[in-house]
Amino acid sequence: MVNILLKHVCTSKIVMPRVVASIPGDITEVEKRAVVNAISSFGVRRVFLIENTKVAAMGAGADIMGPHGTMVANLGAGISSAAILSLGGLSVNKTIKTGGNDMDEDIVKYIRKKYSLVIGRPMAEKCKNTIGCLYESDEEKIFRVKGRDAISGLPRFVDVTSSEIMDVIMEPAIEIVTLIKDVLEEAPPELVGDVYSDGIILTGGLANIGGFEKLVAERTDIKVTVAEKPENCVINGCGNAINYIAEVERNAKMKNDINPLMAAY
């Protein structure tokens, strides 16, 4: 997959590209090397790694290079990460393997158990994105779920409501909220004060679920904002991080320089 993507953006093999890759902040050295090897197989010059919460904050337009504390929660499909950043680095960072895929699986199981209807994850994801919410709304939304009858094996559909889906996806959402609270509890007091003043930034595709910011704000007593186009924050942040590549190579021996890129291979 990496090779296919690189071929789309690197049409010439004359100049070997330099690549910035986003990774979870708490992966092991073996996992880092696996990422680097997967990218290097294309024939790149150098690979620079950066934490996903860091690039998510950069993609959301936050200033992470100053001494001011910034908190971001990146809610993805496979994992969710939360971190407090300062001086271009991570003060506190935590990751859990809970995300949008878990919500999709829960919807699939719920539809099969209650309606005896077998659906795939793409249909569950479409249902989640269309009517999924984590806060009660005055307007009840309805989504038509299409699949295969578990008994007869014939095509069938059912109409599900947003309140049903809210109950289904609430448990993974609470796990993510607990992750955010754990990061706040472990953060230095002076940085928590900055977060209390500025609020928490939500990024990642899961941040588009209706009411997610209200749920986090209610459980933490801190204002929460959803970044503009949160699903694109990580990739936009990687684009912004490219600007620091030259600085890394120019100042390789000056270890006191502040640079968001965590490693180069």
DSSP per position, 143-205: EEEEEEETTT-SEEEEEEEHHHHHHHHHHHHHHHHHHHHHHHHHS-HHHHHHHHHH-EEEESG
Nearest alpha-carbon partner for 49 in 76, 26, 69, 67: 26
Task: Give me the pLDDT at residue 256, please.
Answer: 46
Annotation: CATH topology of 100-168: Actin; Chain A, domain 4 (3.90.640)
- Each residue's pLDDT tens digit, 193-212: 999 999 999 999 999 999 99
Q: Which of 89-93, 171-175, 251-255 has the lowest mean pLDDT?
A: 251-255
Could you give the CA distance from residue 250 to residue 264 in angstroms, rounded to a whole number?
A: 13
The predicted model gives 75-96 an average pLDDT of 94
Residue ranges per structural domain of the chain: 2-98+171-264, 100-168
Tell me how far apart the 2 most distant CA atoms of the chain are, in Å. 69
Over residues 227-253, the mean pLDDT reads 84
CA-wise closest residue to 52 among 91, 80, 87, 19: 80
Give the phi and the psi of residue 90 in degrees, each rounded to 5.
Answer: -100, 120
Q: What is the pLDDT of residue 252?
A: 54
**Confidence category of residue 183, pLDDT binned at 50, 70, 90:** very high
* Alpha-carbon distances of 80 from 41, 71, 162, 199, rounded to whole Å: 28, 14, 23, 18
CATH architecture observed for domain 2-98+171-264: 2-Layer Sandwich (3.30)
pLDDT over threshold 90, residue 16:
no
Confidence bin at 110 (pLDDT 50/70/90): very high
Q: Percent of the chain having pLDDT more than 90? A: 72
According to the model, what pLDDT value does residue 253 have?
47
- pLDDT at residue 13 is higher than 80: no
State residue 177's pLDDT score. Answer: 97
Residue 263 has pLDDT above 50, yes or no: yes
pLDDT at position 51: 93
> Could you tell me which of 105, 122, 77 has the C-alpha nearest to residue 231?
77
229 burial class (0-12, 13-18, 19+ CB within 10 angstroms)? middle
31-74 residue pLDDT tens: 999 999 988 888 888 899 999 999 999 999 999 988 899 999 99
**The pLDDT value given to residue 226:** 97
Residue 46 — left, alpha, or beta (φ > 0 → left; ψ -120 to 50 → alpha)?
beta
Distance CA 9, CA 83 (A): 31
